[in-house]
Amino acid sequence: MKILLVEDEKELGKSLARILTQEGYEVKLCHDGNEGLNLALTQNYNLLILDWMLPNKTGLEICQGLKSHINQSIATTPVLFLTAKDTLDDRVIGLDAGADDYLIKPFELRELLARVRALLRRLSVNIEPQPNKIKLEVADLEIELENQLAYRNGRLIKLSEKEVKLLEFFSLNLNQLVTQEEIFEYLWSEEESPSSNVVAAMVRLLRRKIEKDNEPILIHTIYGKGYWFGLQSDG
């Protein structure tokens, strides 16, 4: 498995690259945002590990450039952010850019390795076809799971892998109350341990995408309990 690591703290980058190499990964390390983007676009990597703050081009800009790329093998490459930014708004921005996971600095090396294993394992699983789970329809929202797309009122909505999985979970529990803990267990494996507010950040971002202007609300917050997905009648 090939990993691109873009980290401007040179000593940290070297240490991480050495540890990942010892774990059996093929690692390319660079310290500059422009170089990182060029490598990601011209080489085939199974995982990108990006520092948020980089010289010349930020990790956020690299991620945005890759996720909008016409080449699907590039656009769907998993991205793990290494960042000191830990507010809910920061997480929403990162998820909106297409990040698959976060690791807040400082972090434990064993947690980094667990996140890497989980993202790479998910990549291999997602290659397998899922013929019975291609499309879902909820009210006026149509979800193409395999293509990571949705349509509402003729509007195309591009979704991240986690957003598709969240919509799938909501659809499977249509018109039912679900808790943040249930969402967390469905979206993340036992080896993954994102922060406690990541579910709220993902739901907030998903709402921005699927509920525009005067479109009926589909994701309802039940304060203190969780979320309810579906159309609610006025009565």
User: What is the full per-residue pLDDT of the chain (235 aa) written as tens digits?
Assistant: 899 999 999 999 999 999 999 999 999 999 999 999 999 988 889 899 999 889 999 988 998 888 777 666 677 788 998 887 766 677 777 777 778 887 888 888 888 898 898 888 765 544 344 444 457 888 888 888 888 888 988 789 988 888 988 998 898 888 889 998 889 888 887 666 666 688 888 899 999 999 988 888 999 999 989 999 988 755 4
> Structural domains in the chain?
2-126 (3.40.50.2300), 135-229 (1.10.10.10)
| C-alpha distance across the termini of the chain, in Å | 55
Cβ–Cβ < 8 Å for 220, 232:
yes
Cβ–Cβ < 8 Å for 50, 80:
yes
User: CA-to-CA distance for 230 and 61, rounded, in angstroms?
Assistant: 34
User: CA-to-CA distance for 221 and 223, rounded, in angstroms?
Assistant: 6
Q: Residue 18 CB: number of other CB atoms within 10 A?
A: 12
Cβ–Cβ < 8 Å for 211, 219:
yes
The DSSP output letter for 216 is P
The DSSP output letter for 18 is H
Q: pTM of the full predicted structure?
A: 0.56
